[in-house]
Amino acid sequence: MSVASTATAAITEKPTACLALADGTVFYGKGFGATGEAEAELCFNTAMTGYQEIMTDPSYAGQIVTFTFPHIGNTGTTAEDDETNVPVAAGMVVKWDPTLASNWRTEAELTDWLSGCGRIGIGGIDTRRLTRAIRQQGAPHVAIAHDPDGNFDTDALVAKARAFSGLEGLDLAKDVSCTQSYRWNEMRWAWPDGYTPQNAPKHKVVAIDYGAKRNILRCLASAGCDITVLPAQSTAADILAHNPDGVFLSNGPGDPAATGEYAVPMIKEILETTELPVFGICLGHQMLALALGAKTIKMNHGHHGANHPVKEIDTKKVEITSMNHGFAVDSQSLPEGVVETHVSLFDGSNCGLRMVDRPVYSVQHHPEASPGPMDSYYLFERFAEAMAERKA
């Protein structure tokens, strides 16, 4: 896309929303959800289901999500599917107007849910063109606006997109983390009782909340864990005061190097002073890598979707996984004593690591798969087994 070019959606009525890119491109469409403006990084997600889980995933802080699948809104929304209290993504971009809900679990239409949560949506966009641009040029900085009267100062919106600081160097984990500790015992949803409590846990786990999804905590509970969740900036002393059997490092948003300023010293102390099993996911994977001496890099457009093939190197098994990350661990920087365990079959990037002599490991993808397939759930069971072996 050239600077100052304009792409106008094929609509027959006056546009009520627009998306302005930092390169001067402006997409016009139909607004829904909240009115107003927001600036963020633009990414695309290839999942065919789970738009509500995606919008409420704390890892999307500072981002607007383009959905490549056109049928958005068809299952409505329900509080059971929230990954956190309110949407964290700054907005959503879709090809068609949101579909009316047709699902027995629906509690509210998507448009009403977005309005109530203060998030902007724009439809009528050529999402194929937008996705190609993101893949070719990298995740752009954008400004989104929704005005029912269709009055837009596009020059000002482009300027706001250009002024957006971006995610590099930005610590967002502390913004989405809990502010005080809490207990969690709710397990995964199962028919016909829905969410039920874990009443017979076998392992005490401290989970560090860098932006933890509820379904990750539910998977830990279903694997037999009694979970205490602590804020992102907790110290090793805070963790060890709970006398845990294992430590879990959660997913989260932002630049891992920035979050690592306080997370890496804590993880290093845990590794140096204890033999506790440690399991990390997504940002937690990157935090563990930094603590072990590896490096992270900003990706061109990241991985966002529920259909990403990942190979486990030891077994050569291919898993279809859910992913949401814009930074990656540089596999060439892994130190001696740390091995790569998983790789992306899309681009060969690192998707997992482990210490060779200790039950300390992590993965880049989301094994809780909300949304997505359950191919990687075994990782939670592996964590439980490591804790059981250590106690035995």
Cα 241 from Cα 250, distance rounded (Å): 19
Torsion, Cα of 23, 8, 64, 3 (10° steps): 0
- Close Cβ partners of 336 (under 8 Å, ≥ 6 residues apart): none
Residue with tokens 């020059």: 155
**Given phi > 0 = left and psi -120 to 50 = alpha, else beta, which region is 178?**
beta
134-139: long-range contacts at Cβ-Cβ below 8 A with a sequence spacing of 24 or more? 134/42, 134/43, 134/44, 134/66, 134/301, 135/300, 135/301, 137/1, 137/23, 138/300, 138/301, 139/41, 139/42, 139/43, 139/300, 139/301, 139/302, 139/326
Query: 148 near 35, Cβ under 8 Å?
Result: yes
CA distance to 8, 41, 133, 148, per residue, from 13 (Å): 12, 28, 26, 12
The three-state DSSP-derived secondary structure of 89-135 is CCEEECCCCCCCCCCCCCCECHHHHHHHHCCEEEECCCHHHHHHHHH
Buried b (16+ CB within 10 A) or exposed e, 236-251: beebbeeebbbbbbbb
The reply to whether 351 belongs to the active site is no
Q: Which residue(s) pair with 207 in the sheet? A: 229, 248
Element containing residue 37 per DSSP (H, E):
strand 36-45
- Catalytic site residue from 282, 308, 342, 365: 282
The reply to whether 225 belongs to the active site is no
Cα 73 from Cα 260, distance rounded (Å): 37
Q: Two tokens at 142?
A: 């954008």
Among 365, 352, 276, CA closest to 59: 365
Q: What angle in degrees, to the nearest 10, is found between the helix axes of 283-292 and 256-273? A: 60
The reply to whether 366 belongs to the active site is yes
Query: Catalytic site residues?
Result: 282, 366, 368
